[in-house]
Structure formats: structure tokens, C-alpha cells
Structure 1
Amino acid sequence: MRQHVLVVDDDLTVSDVVRRYLERAGFDVTLAADGPQAMIAFERRRPDLVVLDLMLPGLDGLEVCRRMRSRVRDLPVVMLTALGEEADRVVGLELGADDYVTKPFSPRELVLRVRSVLRRAAHAGAPVVLRDGPLVVDVERRVAHLGDQELALTVREFDLLAYLLSHPGRAFKRAELLDAVWGWTFGDHSTVTVHVRRLREKVEADPADPKRIVTVWGVGYRYEPLTAARTAA
């Protein structure tokens, strides 16, 4: 079955170009021109991924993202931002956007980003369970628990946590994490910073004084295990 992408943008020319490129790449595409239309389309047929412009009439992209994520917490979202809207981009990442593309953009690049996010969201790989004390990450099932509580993680948050936990004690540069987790050979390092901050809020007893995901000054981040180990499920 073809994967379904919901494209939300009030620029009809941009939407039409994106639709044609995505359909050529093998996706089913639904278009929405504003926030209310996006929510109607979302409820009518749940998408596998949403391409979402931040600047929308009726209901802005950030609110649309909030509402969709309240229904499907791990819904993959690629946000479109105008050049210079760094603050909005950071807010979008804080809400859990898995990727972003800055306007003007190459439709081919957007298709590659969509494929990358969907590939990472798919259930794949060996049946591995990562453990660090009460923190348990089931890679195949894409479920993480801290004690008895299931963690509400976005696609990228899960991938980042699993990657760090699978390399305990190793320090990574932000550029290395962008490459390994996002598949980007270049990009804004604040993407990593935002996701690390969100992860700390979910796995640390005190996010302001992290013990698991620690900052390595002048380098990046390191996962400091309590009793980390990898076991076959």
C-alpha cells in the first residue's frame, strides 16, 4: 500500500509542486491550504507523514502540530519554515517535528527528507532491547519505558535515545549525531540541542542536572550509563 502524505501549505503553487514530486516518488498525497482544512483531512484519513508549513491562515502550523500530535504522538512531521524564522523552527522542534526544510527549498530535497523520516519511523532491524537500570528501550517495537512509565517519544527522540544508549560512554559531536540519527551530512546543530533537551525532560530525574545524557564541553554529548547493556530480545 502506498504511504500517505498530508501536505499543508497556503501557497497553492508550492503545494502543487510538492504534490507532483511526492506522487512521482510513489506517495499518495492530500493537500490542505489552512489549519482547519488540515485537521479535517487528518481526521478523514490519517497520514503516514505530514509536511506542514508554519505560517498558515486560520490555525498556524504550530497549533496544527500540537493538535495532531495529541491524537498520534509519534506522527512524523516535516516542517516548512521561511528563511530567518529560526525562533519558529526551534519551537517546531520543541513540539517534536522530526525534520524541517527552509523555504525556498528543492522539491527533490524535500522528497529525500520525507523518505528519510519515514524510513527511520519504520519498524526495522534486529530484535534488540537496550537497558540502563530502569530505562528500557525496545528497538524493534519502538517502545521505551522508564520504570513502569511508557515514555512519549517522537520518532527522532526515540532514534536519538536508542543511538546514544547503544553507544554508552562515547562522546559524540552534534554533527555526528545529525549524520547518524537524522541522516544529514550538514545542517543546523540546534536541531540536536533541542532534541537532547526534550529527551532530558523525559529520562532525567532533574533535567537541569542531567546524569544520563551529559554535555561534553567543546564536543557534544555522551550517554553516561548506570548499568547499560544490550541484550537480544
Structure 2
Amino acid sequence: MSIRILYVEDDKNFAATVLEFLELMGLICDYADNGLQGVTLAKKNQYDVIVTDITMPKLDGRQMCQELRLQGIDTPILMLSALHELDDKLAGFDCGADDYLTKPFELKELVARIKTLSKRRSGNAQKLVIKDLALELNLGEHLAFREGVQLKLTPSGWKILEVIARAYPNCVDRQMLEHVIWGDDIPDSEALKVHIHRLRQRVDKPFSEPLLHIVNGGAVLKRANL
């Protein structure tokens, strides 16, 4: 299976050399030349690994990493940097990076590290925050908050809310929701409706505006007027 990566680097000449080698080795690469564009692409697309420089315009690599982890994106992140002191590396890990490689480096080592990271997801994404809905999910402790108020969710309710929040602002279809709860052992057709109804009671009932909406048998998070 092909490995798809996002490479974020403001030095376009250096990036061209790296990208050429990665693609020669069979990797599928998207490229961004600043951290802000990197965040946009990482939220829009599904990557196996994100490789980023640190010193960049708009958002540097650490700020980009923090933003992605805040959004609940658990793609492994490899930082590349000429900053080689131990404190620099620790700062990168504190921001949510999974690996750190100092420049200059051997391109073969970069590929080896990417392949290793691509086999897992990062454990550094602890929060998923949807600011315009005032909704926050603590992924590590399975806690959800709306407008700072904790939502009392069942285990199934948490699973549904997490997958819908990760897909925001897109709709999650019925088949995906059923698979998230029951895997391949799906019960009768009314079971999902019952679970979503209960979740809507927890997410929307205490508040003036509903956020959880049913669309073509699936579900989506959005404000009622959007």
C-alpha cells in the first residue's frame, strides 16, 4: 500500500530535492510551503505521515503541530530542523511531534523513519476542539463539553459524537455510524435511530440551539441557521 505524506517546508529548492527522492521511493507527496497551508491540507486530506520544518512563515512547525493536535488530528508528525540542541528536540515533542530528525540528514534515513511512523497513529492528539460550535472533546478521557458544560454520554454516544466531530463539517453516513458502534454485527434498522435520539438529548436538550442533525439517515454537526 502506498504511503501518503504531507511535506511542509518553506525552502522550495530544498523541498524539491526531498520530494523528488520521496516520490522516487514510491511515496505519494503533497507539499505546502508554510504552516498555515499545512494545517489546511492536513485537515482536508488523510495522510499517513506529516513531515515538517520548524522555521517557517505564517505558522512555524511547532505552532502547526499544536494546532493539528488541538483539532484532534492523530497523523504522526516528523519534524526536520537544523535546530539540534536537546531543548529544541524536547520543544518539538512537547508540541505533539512523534519524531525529530536534524538537518543535514540522509534521505534514506528519512524514508525509513516515514515508513516506521506510517504503521501507527499518534497518541499526542488529546483534544478535538470545534471552536465555532463551542464543542470540545477530550480524546484521552472520553469526555465531551459544550460551552464548558460536560455532556453525560453513554459509551455508544461517545463513539457516535467522536466520529461526527472528526468529520466536521461533513456529514457521516449511516453505514459508517453503524460500523463504529457494532462493527460487522449490525442489529435491526431502528437501533441506530435510538442511539442518535439519545445522543441528541445529551448534546442539544440543555441548550437553546441544536447542533446534531440527521441528514439522509446519517448525522452532522452544524448550527441550525447554516
What TM-score do you get using the length of structure 1 for normalisation? 0.49
| Aligned counterpart, 2:97 | 97
- Distance in 2 (CA, whole Å) between partners of 1:150 and 1:96 is 19
What SS is found at the alignment partner of 2:15? helix
Decide whether aligned partners of structure 1 residues 72 and 10 sit closer, same or farther in structure 2, where only a CA change above 3 A counts: same
| Aligned counterpart, 1:127 | none
What SS is found at the alignment partner of 2:26? coil
Task: Report how far residue 73 of structure 1 moved.
Answer: 4.2
Letter matched to residue 26 of structure 1:
G
- Distance in 2 (CA, whole Å) between partners of 1:84 and 1:95 is 16
| Aligned counterpart, 2:57 | 57
Higher relative contact order (CA 8 A, sep 6+): 1
Task: Report how far residue 24 of structure 1 moved.
Answer: 1.9
**1:72 to 2:81 alignment:** no
- Distance in 2 (CA, whole Å) between partners of 1:32 and 1:3 is 17
**1:3 to 2:3 alignment:** yes
- Distance in 2 (CA, whole Å) between partners of 1:58 and 1:69 is 18
The runs of at least 4 consecutive aligned structure 1 residues that moved more than 6 Å come to none
| Aligned counterpart, 1:84 | 84
What SS is found at the alignment partner of 2:90? helix
* Identity over aligned pairs, percent: 35
Letter matched to residue 3 of structure 1:
I
Letter matched to residue 94 of structure 2:
E
- Distance in 2 (CA, whole Å) between partners of 1:61 and 1:121 is 19
| Aligned counterpart, 1:36 | 36
RMSD over aligned Cα atoms: 2.4
Task: Report how far residue 109 of structure 1 moved.
Answer: 0.9
Letter matched to residue 72 of structure 1:
G
**1:47 to 2:47 alignment:** yes
Higher-Rg structure is 2
CA contact (8 A) 1:32 1:38 kept: yes
Bigger drift between 51-60 and 72-81 goes to 72-81
What SS is found at the alignment partner of 2:110? helix
Decide whether aligned partners of structure 1 residues 150 and 44 sit closer, same or farther in structure 2, where only a CA change above 3 A counts: closer
Structure 1: unaligned runs, 5 residues or longer: 123-144, 152-233
- Distance in 2 (CA, whole Å) between partners of 1:104 and 1:89 is 15
What SS is found at the alignment partner of 1:57? coil
Decide whether aligned partners of structure 1 residues 39 and 118 sit closer, same or farther in structure 2, where only a CA change above 3 A counts: same
Letter matched to residue 23 of structure 1:
E
The equivalences for 1:140-151 within 5 A come to 149-150=141-142
| Aligned counterpart, 1:19 | 19
CA contact (8 A) 1:81 1:89 kept: no
What TM-score do you get using the length of structure 2 for normalisation? 0.51
CA contact (8 A) 2:3 2:118 kept: no
| Aligned counterpart, 1:115 | 115
Task: Report how far residue 44 of structure 1 moved.
Answer: 3.0
CA contact (8 A) 2:66 2:96 kept: no
| Aligned counterpart, 2:159 | none
Decide whether aligned partners of structure 1 residues 35 and 120 sit closer, same or farther in structure 2, where only a CA change above 3 A counts: closer
The Cα offsets for residues 175-223 of structure 1, whole Å up to 9 and x where unpaired, read as xxxxxxxxxxxxxxxxxxxxxxxxxxxxxxxxxxxxxxxxxxxxxxxxx
- Distance in 1 (CA, whole Å) between partners of 2:120 and 2:40 is 27
What SS is found at the alignment partner of 1:14? helix
CA contact (8 A) 1:6 1:30 kept: yes
Letter matched to residue 61 of structure 2:
G
Structure 2: unaligned runs, 5 residues or longer: 123-138, 144-226
Decide whether aligned partners of structure 1 residues 58 and 110 sit closer, same or farther in structure 2, where only a CA change above 3 A counts: same
Letter matched to residue 43 of structure 1:
K
